[in-house]
Amino acid sequence: MNLYDLYLISPPLAVACAGILVILLDLVFQRKGFLPYAAFAGLMVAAALLVVQSIDLADANDLVTDGNVRATGVLAGSLSVDRFSLFFNFLVLAALGLVTLSSVDYVKRMENFRGEYFGLMLFSTTGMMLLASATELITVYISLELVTLPLAALSAFLMTSRSSEAGMKFLIVGAISSATMLYGMALIYGFTGATKLDEIAEVVKSAAVLDTPFGGYALLVGVVLMLAGFGFKISAVPFQMWVPDIYEGAPTPVVAFLSVASKAAAVAVLIRVLFTGFFPIALDWASLITVLAAASMTIGNLAAIGQSNIRRMFGYSTIAHAGYILVGIAAAVRTSGGYSGGPEFVSIGLNSVLFYLAAYVVANLTAFFAIIAISQRTGSDLIEGYGGLVRRAPFLAVALTLALVALIGVPPTSIFIGKLVIFTAAVKSGLVWLAILGVLNSVVSAYYYVRIIRVMFLEEPKEQEGSKTSPVAWFALAVSGIAMIGIGIAPGFILRAAEIAVDALAL
């Protein structure tokens, strides 16, 4: 490892250092109020380093493999620093930054462990950033664990029975899914003799593995088992069982973070592994993704209808949104008409996925920031507690309404454009039925999202109690809300960024 290596991994490293620093500061100082800002400052350093790297990337495709650097074997070929990973690093950092700010009020009710709260968030983020860059299976596994374990601890942070249950469940289901994934990786290593994605791709392409007994099946089983691990992180059916319980029990800012950042990072690694490692057998796994997409959308939306707790409802809603994302991934592989792949379909499909993720991040964060602020006033997460909110807290009610309208996919909001590009990609790839199913699912989702709007606007106000929202939390809400509408009205910038990021995969 030399200095250049250090530069390449400096952004995740900075986040990890910030995590350690926050915990140490917590030990030293009595007044804890500044801790979130210390964490935020650490994020800013990481963001600055990302900006430096993106400037460096102006005339290179990948800082790891380009030019003479390649010969020295930087980072042992386990990480890639390209525009694809930068896109997700920026996304994850933005999400964490906003969640940190909105946690300022929330952590005040905690007696202890404020430093640990932010420290664990930062560690998890380190894992997510590495996950977006990982090009090697063992790195993928370690990064994924680094994402999961801090989140399990954070889920149990409230120390209520609900919260502890959430943490425990997250840990156990997470362990099972990563064990499954590890088994898949072992199979793949056994039959290809490689853990690096580009080497795996060579073997898969050469069809040598297909000649060994059971080789083709083993490869496919390996991919499917890995999908189980990724499916757990993006909360797709049938790996979604943990989602509603954790969304209900864990601290709300943690849920907000979990619902966007960890989903984004998992989608990043899913795309990179499947499309750089296993593209030659795309036809085989793409049909599986199609099925998962259809099931996630439908089950998530139908289950969300009957919920009375808003966080639990959002748990099911996030499952549905994972389904929409998988539609885009399925659309990146053309499965009909006897034709697989082709750069045109890949780029349109993946562009739409990246855009959708960015759109979903801002919309879901807006919704959760409003929910955090509202629950501080009402002390409850039950939907019935939202009665008459528009008269008690008009701006919060309007913000949540806009976010809900966005989540339905109604213009002019970010997710409308997101759904449009996803379904466009699906229609283009010949998955018309999947696009129609997705659109119909959006109609179903309107029913339960509008239900909350109805309660806020139509029912009589309940007693008001609880504390006011601090300016910092307002700021986080405003930033995400403006981004949500802004992306909906002028999506050009993010669309272009997604195109550039996908081009970097050089498929």
Partner 1 sequence: METGFTGLLTAAVFLPTAGAVSILLLVRGDRNIRVVAAMVALADLVLTLVVFTTFSRDDGAQRFQFIDYFTWIPGETLRANYILGVDGLSAPLVTLTGILGLCAVLASWNIKTRVREHFVWLLILQTAVMGVFTSLDLLLFFLFWELELVPMYMLIAIWGTGRKEYSAMKFLMFTILGSAFMLVAIVAVFLTPEVGTFDMRALSTSGTMLGAGVLLPLSALFWLFFIGFGIKLPVWPLHTWLPDAHTNAPTAASVMLAGVLLKMGGYGLLRINVGMFPGQAHQFAWALVTLGVISVLYGAIVTLRQTDLKRLIAYSSVSHMGLVLVGIGAIGITQGTLTSAGLNGAAMQLFTHGTITGLMFLGAGLVYDKAHTRYIPDLGGLAGRMPLVAAGLLIAGFASLGLPGLSGFVSEVLVFLGAFRAYPLMTALAVLGIVLSAGYILWMMERAFFGVRRERFADITDASLIEALPMAILVITIVGVGIYPAILTDVFEYGLRPIIALIPVAGP
Least distance to partner 1 from the beta carbon of 445, Å? Answer: 10
Of 216, 388, 412, 486, the residue at the interface with partner 1 (CB under 8 A) is 412
**What's 490's DSSP letter?**
-
Provide the terminal-to-terminal Cα distance of the chain, rounded to the nearest Å.
Answer: 29
Question: Which of 385/430 has CB closer to partner 1?
Answer: 430
Q: Is 305 among the residues that bind partner 1 (CB under 8 A)?
A: no
In one letter, which amino acid is 237? V
The one-letter amino acid code at 245 reads: D
Q: What is the residue whose two structure tokens read 């386990």?
A: 78
Three-state secondary structure call for residue 257: helix
Distance CA 225, CA 222 (A): 5
- What lies within 8 Å, CB to CB, of 167 at 6+ separation is 152, 153, 154, 155, 156, 157, 249, 250
CB atoms within 10 A of CB 48: 13
Among 428, 486, 503, 507, binds partner 1 (CB under 8 A): 428
Position 335 contacts partner 1 (CB under 8 A): no
User: CB under 8 A: which stretch of 53-61, 72-80, 296-304, 406-414 binds partner 1?
Assistant: 406-414
Alpha-helical regions (H) of 274-342: 282-304, 310-331
How far is it, in rounded angstroms, from Cα 447 to Cα 320? 14
Report the residue number, 140 or 477, with the smaller CB distance to partner 1.
Answer: 477
Within 57-136, residue ranges assigned H as helices are 83-107, 114-133
Single out the residue of 487, 462, 489, 242 nearest to residue 365, CA to CA.
Answer: 487
Q: What is the DSSP string of 212-254?
A: STTHHHHHHHHHHHHHHHHHHHHT-TTS-THHHHHHHHS-HHH
Q: For residues 124 and 154, is the Cβ–Cβ distance under 8 A?
A: yes
Among 40, 118, 285, 423, binds partner 1 (CB under 8 A): 423
User: Is residue 410 part of the contact set for partner 1 (CB under 8 A)?
Assistant: yes
Interface pick for partner 1 out of 442, 469, 479, 504 (rule CB under 8 A): 442
457 is an interface residue for partner 1 by CB under 8 A:
yes
Is 405 a binding residue for partner 1 by CB under 8 A? The answer is yes
Distance CA(332)–CA(270), nearest Å, equals: 13
**Closest approach of partner 1 to the CB of residue 418, in Å:** 11
Q: With contacts defined by CB under 8 A, name the span among 131-139, 238-246, 275-283, 433-441 that binds partner 1.
A: 433-441
Closest to partner 1 by CB, 20 or 439: 439
Site string for partner 1, 357-396 (x = CB under 8 A): ---------------------------------x------
**Is residue 179 near partner 1 by the rule CB under 8 A?**
no
CB of 311 to partner 1, least distance (A): 23
317 contacts partner 1 (rule: CB under 8 A): no
* By the rule CB under 8 A, 482 interacts with partner 1: no
Instruction: Indicate whether 146 belongs to the interface with partner 1 (CB under 8 A).
Output: no
Amino acid sitting at position 338? G
Joined together, the tokens standing for residue 21 give 């620093």
For the beta carbon of residue 24, count every other beta carbon within 10 angstroms: 12
Whole-angstrom distance, CA of residue 358 vs CA of residue 381: 26
Say whether residue 417 binds partner 1 (CB under 8 A): yes
SS3 labels along 145-182: HHHHHHHHHHHCCCCCHHHHHHHHHHHHHHHHHHHHHH
Q: Does 456 bind partner 1 (CB under 8 A)?
A: no
CA 235/CA 242 separation, integer angstroms: 8
Nearer to partner 1, 123 or 416 (CB): 416
Q: Is 60 in the site for partner 1 (CB under 8 A)?
A: no
Q: Check residue 468 for interaction with partner 1 (CB under 8 A).
A: no
Name the CA dihedral angle for 436, 437, 443, 447, rounded to a multiple of 10 degrees: 180
- The CB-of-39 to partner 1 minimum distance in angstroms stands at 35
Find the binder of partner 1 among 416, 473, 474, 480 (CB under 8 A).
416
With CB under 8 A as the contact rule, the residue among 440, 461, 466, 468 that binds partner 1 is 440
Instruction: Between 87 and 355, name the residue whose CB sits nearer to partner 1.
Output: 355
What's the min distance (Å) between Cβ of 217 and partner 1?
34
Nearer to partner 1, 230 or 448 (CB): 448
458 makes contact with partner 1 (CB under 8 A): yes
Binding positions for partner 1, rule: CB under 8 A = 348, 351-352, 355, 390, 401, 405, 408, 410-412, 416-417, 420-421, 423-424, 427-428, 430, 432, 435-436, 439-440, 442-443, 446-447, 450, 453-454, 457-458, 490-492, 495-496, 499
